[in-house]
Amino acid sequence: MTSKISSTKLLKEAIKRNSAFGVLLLVIYFCYYPIGGMLLLRSVENFRDTEQMTRELKMFGVDNPFLFVLTFGIALLLGIVMFAYLHSREKLDFYHSIPVRREKYFLIQCAAGVLLWLVPFVGNLLLFLLACAGRGVDVTAGATMGTTLCGGLLKGILAHAACFLLVYFMTTLAMMLTGKIFAAIAVMAVFCGYVPAIRLLIEVMMEYFFATYPTTVNLSESVTAQCTPVYTYIRVCGDLMEGKFPMDLLLALVLISMLVIGLCLWLYRKRGSEKAGKSMAFTGFARVLKFMLVVPASLTSALTLYALSENSLLWGIVGWILGILLVGSIIEFVYCMDIREVLQDKKQIALSAAVSLAILSVFVFDLTGYDSWLPAKTEVTSMELQNEFYHETVQRRVYSDHVTGTGTHIYESLYTESYEGVYETSDIDAVYDLIEHSEHFQKDAGSGADEQEQSWEYWQNYTNIGVTYHMNDGTQKKRSYEVSKENMKKYFAMIWESEKYRKAMYPILDVNPKDILTIQVARTDYYNPFFGGAVVETAETQQGTEGVQSAEEKAEEEAMVEEAIEMEESVVLEPKEPLTESEMEEMVRTFQTELQNEKFDSAYSGGDYAINIIYRSGNTVYGEEYTLKDSFKETLGLLQKYGYQMDAE
């Protein structure tokens, strides 16, 4: 029997019952938007750049990580608060006694939770927008609607709403599947982290058991690592901060949310009141969840003891047995709350043990042939090589270029990026000669990773070569091979000394010497000697343009120049006279020639001095730092010729 109680009245009652949470959200958003926004406006209202001001206000309004964390937390809590009645038999009996269809009541609860978040969020955001307009900010300024403050905030509302619905409905599903709050939180943790955790476990096992597995794989780029609500929040927030609007992702989130709420509605029809108070409301889901947790837990336990025992397979098996029994018993006890029932489900224990043992065998015995895989040369289009040991990882700095009123350039180091060059070649035979003489493919040596002790002494004689196979079908396969230094000298030296390889590893070889701005030299026993930037006086400095500046501006710039010079002179060696443009060009050409013609035998050598070459490329100022090896005799000779105190400590 159903009554004619209006949905609006039921919705109002649902909101009223949870009004305390709504008031709390109202206070939180009021403190953030109107109050915090007014404080922000005091600091940005003097911005001359309207675009920069709009960007700062949008960042505060919707495009910042704090707000996305807040949205995630509110969605999680609201999902628990709005459907906590599912875990109480008394409340379930009461609400189900109301002459309203269960499905209708459930959907009204869903809508009430959404409104409890949406109204305080949007309402206070509108107050913030009005405050901006009241302080003289042009909220409609922009080339397009999307670049205006109004458009940016509207996009942010849509993005937060899509993210909120995903977590809110997933929490609702967790509450539906369970009968206790702690069980619902655990299920929600599985929803958020299970897939990335499995991917991470696979990566770690491959690294331990496969000798040719490359350890440079980026987990964040894996599709499976992205299958989590946490990642979607990070992705949406990142896109908004970069000025992008991920419409495709947001539509996918809304679609997934609708599917989840549809599943919740279907389960709600089947869920009996007697399920309240039990850890799991559906026996089938409980069995599946236990299997999904026990299998990876047993593998993790096996891998942990395997690693702690220095790769003892026996201890790995002990860990596997402990994982099966201990984790399975704990989960069963949580389900039943009866110690006598923990080992009753012997069929599932056997199934979990069989599956996890099969997976473990795949890795231990390489049943997939991962390590033995070597494609035919005709299947490969080109190959990439990476080896950090046989070339310097170039420390390339990005500098700001501040020009004072007197023409002095102050190059301030903003950040450092490590340039790890990649060499791609179509000379398949040369690379295959190197691979076939790696430890893994040596018939009398076997896999270095399996049979050699991975000690410091071992790596004195061996090194890793990273190889990327570009296959004819457009795919890429990555492998890593251990090669003795003796075989590196035989089969890698020719590649290492080639012009194409050198240019791929050292970007300075493609720099035009005429683009050089300045050169710095320091001893290598200083840590990060070039972090302080550089000061370059140009011809305009001597001519002077003091009349353009006020006395205050001139004093500030003089202090800036003095500070930069003091920082630079603390570790950087100076010539007797500043280098002319022609001298710098000669220095760079000489260094480029010696770097290009460097022999493989000098790969191990070091040097007492380092050189930092600062140049302009397009609109960006870069600086590249290299060690001046003892074999670079002509470059070292020029430094002495130009008056550098090369014996200075």
What mean pLDDT comes out for the span 177-194?
91
CA distances (Å), 156 to each of 62, 74, 247, 355, 473, in order? 5, 17, 11, 45, 41
193-222 pLDDT, tens digit each:
898 889 889 989 998 899 889 875 555 555
DSSP conformational letter for 580: P
User: From CA 26, how far away is CA 19, in angstroms rounded?
Assistant: 10
Q: In this predicted model, what pLDDT tens digit does every residue of 253-290 receive, in sequence order?
A: 999 999 999 999 999 988 888 888 888 889 889 899 99
Q: What is the pLDDT of residues 569-623, one digit of tens each?
A: 457 888 888 888 899 999 999 999 999 998 888 876 778 888 999 999 888 888 8
Model confidence over 424-437: pLDDT tens digits? 888 899 899 999 88
CA-CA-CA-CA dihedral for 179, 180, 182, 187, to nearest 10? 10
Q: Kindly report the number of other CB atoms within 10 A of residue 630's CB atom.
A: 13
Residue 456 pLDDT > 80: no
CA-based nearest residue to 15, from 102, 114, 104:
114
Euclidean distance between CA atoms 386 and 402, whole angstroms: 37
pLDDT value at residue 585: 92
* 3-state SS track over 195-240: HHHHHHHHHHHHHHHCCCCCCCCCHHHCCHHHCCHHHHHHHHHHHH
Residue 262 belongs to what H/E stretch? Answer: helix 247-270
What does the pLDDT look like over 303-360, one tens digit per residue?
999 989 888 889 999 999 999 999 888 888 888 777 777 777 788 889 999 999 999 9
Here the tokens at position 385 are: 């090589």
Relative orientation angle of helices 149-177 and 65-82, to the nearest 10 degrees: 40
Question: Which of 160, 150, 184 shows the shortest CA–CA distance to 170?
Answer: 184
* Tens-place pLDDT, residues 33-70: 999 988 888 877 666 567 778 888 888 989 889 999 99
Which residue pairs, CB below 8 angstroms and at least 24 apart, start in 499-504?
A: 499/596, 500/423, 500/425, 501/385, 501/423, 501/425, 502/595, 502/596, 502/598, 503/596, 504/421, 504/422, 504/423, 504/424
CA distance 595 to 3: 87
User: Residue 540 pLDDT more than 50?
Assistant: no
Encoded amino acid at 601, one letter: D
Q: How far is CA 427 from the centre of its chain?
A: 34
State the residue for tokens 């049979």.
451
CB 513 within 8 A of CB 584: yes
Q: Do 164 and 73 contact (CB within 8 A), yes or no?
A: no
Alpha carbon distance 234, 159 (integer Å): 12
pTM: 0.74
Q: Dump pLDDT digits (tens) for 479-531.
A: 989 888 888 888 888 888 888 888 888 889 999 999 998 888 888 877 677 76
C-alpha separations of 256 from 169, 249, 261, 384 in Å: 10, 10, 9, 39
